[in-house]
A and B are shown apart, each in its own frame.
Chain A
Amino acid sequence: MSGWDRARPSGTRTGRGSNSTMNERIPSSRTVRLGRVQPQAPGFRTIYCNDRDANLPVRFRGNSISTTKYNFFTFLPKGLFEQFRRVANLYFLTISILSTTPISPVSPITNVLPLSLVLLVSLIKEAFEDWKRFQNDMAINNNPVDVLQDQRWESIPWKKLQVGDIVRIKQDGFFPADLLFLAGTNPDGVCYIETANLDGETNLKIRKAVEKTWDYLTPEKASEFKGEVQCEQPNNSLYTFTGNLVVQKQTLPLTPNQILLRGCSLRNTEYIVAVVIFTGHETKVMMNTMNVPSKRSTLERKLDKLILTLFGTLFGMCLIGAIGSGVFIDRKYFYLGLHEDVESQFDPNKPFVVAILTMFTLITLYSTIIPISLYVSIEMIKFIQCAQFINKDLHMYHSETNTPALARTSNLNEELGQVEYIFSDKTGTLTRNLMEFFKCSIGGEVYGTGVTEIERGVAERNGIRLADGKKSANMVQEKGFNFDDGRLMRGAWRNEPNSDLCKEFFRCLAICHTVLPEGDESPEKITYQAASPDEAALVTAAKNFGFFFYRRTPTMIFVRESHVEKMGKIEDVSYEILNVLEFNSTRKRQSVVCRYPDGRLVLYCKGADTVIYERLAIGNDDLKKVTRDHLEQFGSSGLRTLCLAYRDLSPNMYESWNEKFIQAKSSLRDREKKLDEVAELIEQDLVLIGCTAIEDKLQEGVPTCIETLARAGIKIWVLTGDKMETAINIAYACNLINNEMKQFIISSETDAIREIENKGDQVEIARFIKEEVKKELKRCLEEAQSYFHTVSGPKLALVIDGKCLMYALDPTLRVMLLNLSLNCCSVVCCRVSPLQKAQVTSLVKKGARKITLSIGDGANDVSMIQAAHVGIGISGQEGMQAVMASDFAIAQFRFLTDLLLVHGRWSYLRLCKVVTYFFYKNLTFTLTQFWFTFQTGFSGQRFYDDWFQSLYNVIFTALPVIIVGLFDKDVSASLSKKYPEIYRAGIRNVFFEWRVVAVWAFFSFYQSLVFFYFVTTSSSSPHNSSGKMFGLWDVSTMAFSSVVVTVNLRLLLMCNSITRWHYISVGGSVLAWFLFIFIYSGIMTPYDRQENVYFVIYVLMSTFYFYLTIILIPVVALLGDFIYQGVQRWFFPYDYQIVQEIHRHEREGRSRTELLEVANELSPDEARSYAISQLPREISKHTGFAFDSPGYESFFAAQLGVYAPQKAWDVARRASMKSKPKLGLKK
């Protein structure tokens, strides 16, 4: 049924306002127009076909396309401009400029170097991405196409194609440009095209050439074609085209029916010949490409706030320093040379000016508080996360369609870890949009032995394991047909007691439909083109029962019937179709009046049970009752049902009716309505045959996935265009709703509403429905709240239909709707338009300020996908529209589990760590500088050497944090899925609350004090037995060493898992610092640097003092963090920590070998990609089982005399954490 509905979504919508405009905007073929239709350029273009010279003066654009952002020359200016649109970069540019002025305490290198490094990395990334786009373009541009040259087809690349060229496209080929269809191999000048790339529709569309041009098929003939096309200027309206073809002095009008758009492909036609009319960027599809609105993650937005806070802190620090400097400056410090004319920054006569200028000085000095490399690091981390982890995760690889997951944007990884609401489309997302004839009931007898997934799920929940029904050998497996019952197949129905009814049943299936057969007229090769997959499934079923519908003409239906007269006999029967009473959503039924070859007149009718039952003839109540039972039984197994009925007509009666019908059909006013009325007259006294049950197949693993997500605290809303019953059905099937839930149903299909609607006063209808909706909402809300106050009330579910939703979304009712729906565990919205989908999404996004995710597969989901925080497209199917608009593309709904619970959660965790760590390390570093300012008379003297400061962020502390951002994981992937509840931490955002930031800030405050005062105090005496003293630069080098060592060790302390990469990067960073300082203090550069640190490190490292300090300071500094973490872990453990503990004795290795076994079953190609995907992870040893410091577990164990096994990782870890306290009791 849903397919029928979808084919005519506008049928029942009589509403006004936004809905009615929707109806106008959306053509009945359920497409969404892309972008705004641009105003038509004045004039028209004239194209001389097959005549390049004649077209030359007009200079049409070539067919090559370019989607790159930059070209060779614009890259630098444009790329830089893009970079400086970031506030942080602009800030550093300002600082860099400031630092070239004399008020700067640091040489420009301090700021210019990190800035340029950051810019360099960003630009390289941009260049890389653009290069990929360029290659992509090149690949497209170099596709070959056959073009007519000198009476021959020459293959040339797409980009060489010009307006006016005559091209030949072969079957399944893509159209290289917008073409005018001239001729094709099909006899009647038609060709079939697939427009999946444009609108996601997979059914074929027919294009028909102008009759005049049908002959120009061969190259010889085509080369004679000389025509002139006058048409509109290029525009982006996909469904309109106006123009004329002037050929042989004749002007032929052109319509969209002759236009083949770029991006579509040719089907079921050997080849066609066409003229190029729009090329390259002027094609309609290219003019429709719009920039996908770029999304920023909420974490990043919070990060902005954090940065603003840092700016505030910076300002405060500078203000303190500036006031200090104004107060300090005094002529009494004669050694400062303040007695003569002094530059204004130090002029003791103008303390105010001094303060202002010092302010700028300090801003420059403290610029390190803003983590310049944060954004670029985050970008890199996310990029690698996407490219290496998400895209290469075999858990999200769908081998049937050969589709891996695809992260189309790398901005939103961590958003995946915080999703609270999922908005899901139904068809194609939850279900496969694959209708299979599954069961039927004929004459009170149920046929079909299959078990639906829903039944299986229910059974499993009740503890019964259903054996997978053995599929009998002779079972026909075909798309649309999944039925097995020996009593009906292969003519066996003849032996059934109600074989006559069976015959009627099959004939009804074979005749009463609007399906078009296509392809060879043999049962194997034929394909059915139907408005909905249901119909196709029914016709396919008839075929398999031996009633093969193979040909349709406007008046006849040809059916090859087997076993009718006697077993094994096959005959072709033609039925004359007299009238077709079409389906629409008010009638909910479809009838065909046909005449048998023997003159029998029959009306076959199929439709929803309610409407059919109303029109059945009196009597035969047993059958009706039994069939109704069957209908309910089918319905509860999640099947979609239709009732079939027939009626024999007498010729007289038919004739008189037919007159009325013809009259109604030819009436000009209210034709639809009149036709309906006439149909009513004949659709009476029907004889019930039985009913069909079609399975709307769920995607694989959907119910489990939904259950897992629900446990993770994610609420799932289903937004579908289907009707309410279907939607509820599927919701049941997916575990979204069950019988224990309290359901609130707000529907417009009530008697009261219908009554008003029948009166037809639109204003009144609107007012009335609004009132009704309001009443309903209020009632539900009150009820919901009463449940909410009780402790263990039932879970709530809301079902609402599109029409009610339209009114409920009204600003006055919106709040109520939101309150109600947020209290519900699941919400089902049915019969909603694409726009409403988006509205509901933004309602939650904006109204509830929760992170939303939309998932869908079709063009009608695009708006929803773009409206949500995260949009996910189902890929691997034919339509690409949803994928093109999405942020992530996965092949199956069930991959959401992996995407959210594993990758999303990890990304979120990692990003939080990265951000807080960046915040911490820069704050710590800058605060030491700040403390120093107090000791320098607030002059803004720098504590560290320029190079120390500039390389701190980009070299000495850069890599480890990136490693954490890539490899840190609290619990393994399988545990993440086993304990979906730990995902809730992300929803509550516990790892990036202000509280967390405050804790980090507190510790960085503490640590900076330790760094500064420990170093300065301990260095105030002679440094070794030679009695010499340290100077400023010696102290600062000492302090900087401690900072680098501590900050890097702090990173290890916060890791959940420590891999070889951690050691390498942390060790490498510390080593890099020492290497740097060794070289740096060993050389004298010739130009105007003051050789402050010359030889410093050599002297430093020759003292005991150095080693004692470098051991002491990290320990003291980290003691605070250590105690905090220990206490937190012991008394207020996070969920993930508990999970770590539960599984502390499991080695990651086991699951890895399991995975490898999986890998062995894969094809070599897959295995290779698997190996690639495993590369980084293979090395990752998950170690964070018990405590952040392994000492703990063993420590307590030792206390209790319990032997704690030494683990390899324990030893390795201990080695890396020599300076950490509390490892001792291990001995």
Chain B
Amino acid sequence: MLVSIIFIPIGVASLYASRDVVEIIDRYETDCLPENSRSNKDQKVQYIQGPGNKTCSRTIRVPKHMKKPIYVYYQLDNFYQNHRRYVKSRSDEQLRKNSSASDVDACKPEDNGVNGLPIVPCGLIAWSLFNDTYTFSRNSQKLVVNKKGISWKSDREHKFGKDVYPKNFQNGTLRGGKLLDSSIPLSEQEDLIVWMRTAALPTFRKLYGKIEEDLQPNDVIQVILENNYNTYSFSGKKKLVLSTTSWLGGKNDFLGIAYLTVGGLCFFLAVAFTVVYLVKPRQLGDPSYLSWNRNPGGH
């Protein structure tokens, strides 16, 4: 009962918070393929791996007022960032210190480049860095996407070195993902930092940037995106997400519903037990319930 008293308000509050969040999801991985490449997987893969312009334009209508900051996420699906081979394929030492550049043992198969020199940053995670890009404009007026401060501060400051610059990166036969500007230290490559914080589940969102302007209802947003990243070979979805946040974070009804359910359940149980007590009372400490009293002589 206490639980229901406490839980129901919490549930309402969190549900309210969650409902307060405006979230726009735009799935684009198929729509951004040319018509003739959509039919089967091979064609898709061929397209995405081939040269040529992959720019794609999407329009998004804002349903409700969105208060700044508006966060831009990309959401991937069926992408096992938590696969064992993937997770361990990184070198924290190398990321942190310039002097440990050759510390690439864990990074196989992306440890040393074709020239035999160590790759910085090494490993599959860095190699497969997401490389779709988005630019937004409202009424042909560009919306600035702020890409600063999208990563964890602790990562930025302690796990990715200020003196570590990308070297020898993505110059193998097969390009996995994004190229990195070798003149910018890793600690400022926030896309990489975000990406390197591997997700727990095969469906995950990652922060792309922030739009620091309010969006009004019925604003139409033009998104120019470069559809570079290959999710076609493993039939993964790609989604672009624009979302505001509340004190509880993003849009997630789960906690609120769970709280409400548990609270309700407890209430129900309390009532049920009361009914049980009234309908089928059992005297506390009734000796006749003792097993040796229930069936006399039973042994």
Name B92's contact: one of A979, A1014, A1091, A1109 (CB within 8 Å): A1091
Name A1222's contact: one of B204, B247, B270 (CB within 8 Å): B270
Name A1032's contact: one of B14, B82, B176 (CB within 8 Å): B82
B199 interfacial contact with A, CB 8 Å: yes
Q: Name B253-271 residues within 8 Å CB distance of A.
A: 254-255, 258-259, 262, 265-266, 269-270
Residues of B within 8 A of A301 (CB): none
Inter-subunit contact B82/A935 (CB<8 Å): yes
User: Would A1112 and B258 be within 8 Å (CB), given that A332-B234, A1029-B206, A1196-B277 are in contact?
Assistant: yes
Residues of A within 8 A of B80 (CB): 333, 336, 936-937, 939
Q: Name A1106-1164 residues within 8 Å CB distance of B.
A: 1108-1109, 1111-1112, 1115-1116, 1119, 1123, 1126, 1130-1131, 1133, 1135, 1138-1144
Residues 1208-1221 of A, flagged 1 when their CB comes within 8 A of B and 0 if not, give: 00000000000111
B136 interfacial contact with A, CB 8 Å: no
Q: Name A460-503 residues within 8 Å CB distance of B.
A: none
Which of B28-36, B51-59, B220-228, B282-290 lies at the interface?
B282-290
User: Would A337 and B124 be within 8 Å (CB), given that A1032-B200, A1224-B5 are in contact?
Assistant: yes
How far, in whole Å, are A80 and B252 apart by their CA atoms in the complex? 53
Q: Name B200-228 residues within 8 Å CB distance of A.
A: 200-207, 210
How far, in whole Å, are A1227 and B177 apart by their CA atoms in the complex? 61
Residues of B within 8 A of A1105 (CB): 248-249, 255
A72 interfacial contact with B, CB 8 Å: no
Inter-subunit contact A1108/B248 (CB<8 Å): yes
Q: How far is the CB of A351 from chain B (nearest CB, A)?
A: 15
Q: Name A1171-1207 residues within 8 Å CB distance of B.
A: 1186, 1193, 1195-1196, 1199
A1022 interfacial contact with B, CB 8 Å: yes
How far, in whole Å, are A775 and B201 apart by their CA atoms in the complex? 76
Residues of B within 8 A of A1029 (CB): 73, 194, 197, 199, 204-207
Name B285's contact: one of A713, A1112, A1138 (CB within 8 Å): A1138
Interface range on chain A (Cβ under 8 Å from partner): 35 or more
Residues of A within 8 A of B206 (CB): 1029
How far, in whole Å, are A940 and B93 apart by their CA atoms in the complex? 24
Name A935's contact: one of B14, B202, B246 (CB within 8 Å): B202
Inter-subunit contact B1/A1223 (CB<8 Å): yes
Residues of A within 8 A of B2 (CB): 1221-1227
Residues of A within 8 A of B274 (CB): 1196, 1199
User: Would A332 and B127 be within 8 Å (CB), given that A1021-B250, A1135-B290, A1221-B266 are in contact?
Assistant: no
- Considering the complex, give the chain B residue whose CB is closest to the CB of A1126: B273
Q: How far is the CB of B251 from chain A (nearest CB, A)?
A: 6
Residues of A within 8 A of B245 (CB): 1022, 1024-1027
Residues of B within 8 A of A1196 (CB): 274, 277
A207 interfacial contact with B, CB 8 Å: no
User: Would A1027 and B299 be within 8 Å (CB), given that A939-B85, A1221-B1 are in contact?
Assistant: no
Which of B137-145, B150-158, B162-170, B179-187 lies at the interface?
B150-158
Name B109's contact: one of A342, A1032, A1099 (CB within 8 Å): A342
Name A1022's contact: one of B203, B230, B243 (CB within 8 Å): B243
Residues of A within 8 A of B127 (CB): 335, 337
Inter-subunit contact A1014/B284 (CB<8 Å): no
Inter-subunit contact A335/B84 (CB<8 Å): no
User: Would A1020 and B290 be within 8 Å (CB), given that A713-B299, A1115-B3, A1221-B3 are in contact?
Assistant: no
How far, in whole Å, are A480 and B287 apart by their CA atoms in the complex? 47
- Considering the complex, give the chain B residue whose CB is closest to the CB of A1010: B258
B38 interfacial contact with A, CB 8 Å: no
Name A1144's contact: one of B92, B194, B285 (CB within 8 Å): B285
How far, in whole Å, are A1023 and B252 apart by their CA atoms in the complex? 10
A786 interfacial contact with B, CB 8 Å: no
A1036 interfacial contact with B, CB 8 Å: yes
Residues of A within 8 A of B10 (CB): 1108, 1111
Q: By the criterion of a CB under 8 Å from any partner CB, how many residues of chain B are at the interface?
A: 92
Most buried by B among A343, A1023, A1032: A1032
Residues of A within 8 A of B197 (CB): 1029, 1031
Residues of B within 8 A of A1133 (CB): 289
How far, in whole Å, are A974 and B289 apart by their CA atoms in the complex? 21
Q: How far is the CB of B19 from chain A (nearest CB, A)?
A: 13
How far, in whole Å, are A332 and B80 apart by their CA atoms in the complex? 12
Inter-subunit contact A1016/B258 (CB<8 Å): no
Q: How far is the CB of B154 from chain A (nearest CB, A)?
A: 3
Q: How far is the CB of A1194 from chain B (nearest CB, A)?
A: 11
User: Would A1112 and B259 be within 8 Å (CB), given that A1029-B205, A1091-B92 are in contact?
Assistant: yes
Q: How far is the CB of B199 from chain A (nearest CB, A)?
A: 6
User: Would A941 and B82 be within 8 Å (CB), given that A1020-B201, A1115-B262, A1223-B1 are in contact?
Assistant: yes
A586 interfacial contact with B, CB 8 Å: no
A402 interfacial contact with B, CB 8 Å: no
- Considering the complex, give the chain B residue whose CB is closest to the CB of A1089: B92
Residues of A within 8 A of B205 (CB): 1020-1022, 1029
How far, in whole Å, are A721 and B201 apart by their CA atoms in the complex? 75
User: Would A1123 and B285 be within 8 Å (CB), given that A336-B86, A337-B85, A1025-B247 are in contact?
Assistant: no
A1103 interfacial contact with B, CB 8 Å: yes
B112 interfacial contact with A, CB 8 Å: no
Inter-subunit contact A1027/B276 (CB<8 Å): no
Name A1028's contact: one of B85, B93, B150 (CB within 8 Å): B150
Residues 72-99 of B, flagged 1 when their CB comes within 8 A of A and 0 if not, give: 0100000111111111111011000000
A1019 interfacial contact with B, CB 8 Å: yes
Residues of B within 8 A of A939 (CB): 80, 82-85
Inter-subunit contact B158/A1020 (CB<8 Å): no
How far, in whole Å, are A539 and B255 apart by their CA atoms in the complex? 91
Q: Name B88-135 residues within 8 Å CB distance of A.
A: 88-90, 92-93, 106, 108-110, 124, 127-128
Name B246's contact: one of A1025, A1035, A1123, A1186 (CB within 8 Å): A1025
- Considering the complex, give the chain B residue whose CB is closest to the CB of A1225: B1
- Considering the complex, give the chain B residue whose CB is closest to the CB of A1136: B290
Residues of A within 8 A of B128 (CB): 334-335
Inter-subunit contact B4/A1224 (CB<8 Å): yes
User: Would A1135 and B291 be within 8 Å (CB), given that A1035-B200, A1108-B248 are in contact?
Assistant: yes
How far, in whole Å, are A1094 and B92 apart by their CA atoms in the complex? 11
Q: Name A1073-1119 residues within 8 Å CB distance of B.
A: 1084, 1088, 1090-1091, 1094-1095, 1098-1099, 1103-1105, 1108-1109, 1111-1112, 1115-1116, 1119
How far, in whole Å, are A1135 and B298 apart by their CA atoms in the complex? 14
How far, in whole Å, are A926 and B296 apart by their CA atoms in the complex? 45
In addition to A339-B174, A1029-B199, 16 A-B residue pairs with Cβ atoms within 8 Å of each other are: A334-B128, A336-B124, A936-B80, A939-B84, A984-B299, A1016-B201, A1017-B252, A1022-B245, A1025-B249, A1028-B151, A1108-B14, A1112-B262, A1119-B266, A1138-B289, A1141-B286, A1223-B1
Query: What are 12 A-B pairs at a CB distance below 8 A?
Result: A332-B235, A333-B233, A343-B108, A935-B202, A939-B85, A1021-B251, A1022-B245, A1024-B247, A1027-B69, A1029-B207, A1036-B200, A1196-B274
Closest 10 CB pairs of A and B: A1224-B1, A1224-B2, A1141-B285, A1021-B250, A1095-B154, A335-B128, A1027-B71, A1142-B285, A939-B84, A1022-B250
Q: Please give the residue numbers on chain A whose beta carbons come within 8 Å of chain B beta carbons, in ascending order.
A: 105, 330, 332-337, 339-340, 342-343, 346, 361, 713, 791-792, 932, 935-937, 939-942, 979, 981, 984, 1014, 1016-1032, 1034-1036, 1084, 1088, 1090-1091, 1094-1095, 1098-1099, 1103-1105, 1108-1109, 1111-1112, 1115-1116, 1119, 1123, 1126, 1130-1131, 1133, 1135, 1138-1144, 1186, 1193, 1195-1196, 1199, 1219-1227
Q: Please give the residue numbers on chain B whose beta carbons come within 8 Å of chain A beta carbons, in ascending order.
A: 1-5, 7, 10, 14, 69, 71, 73, 79-90, 92-93, 106, 108-110, 124, 127-128, 150-152, 154-155, 158-159, 174, 176-177, 194, 197-207, 210, 230, 233-235, 243, 245-252, 254-255, 258-259, 262, 265-266, 269-270, 273-274, 276-277, 282, 284-287, 289-292, 297, 299
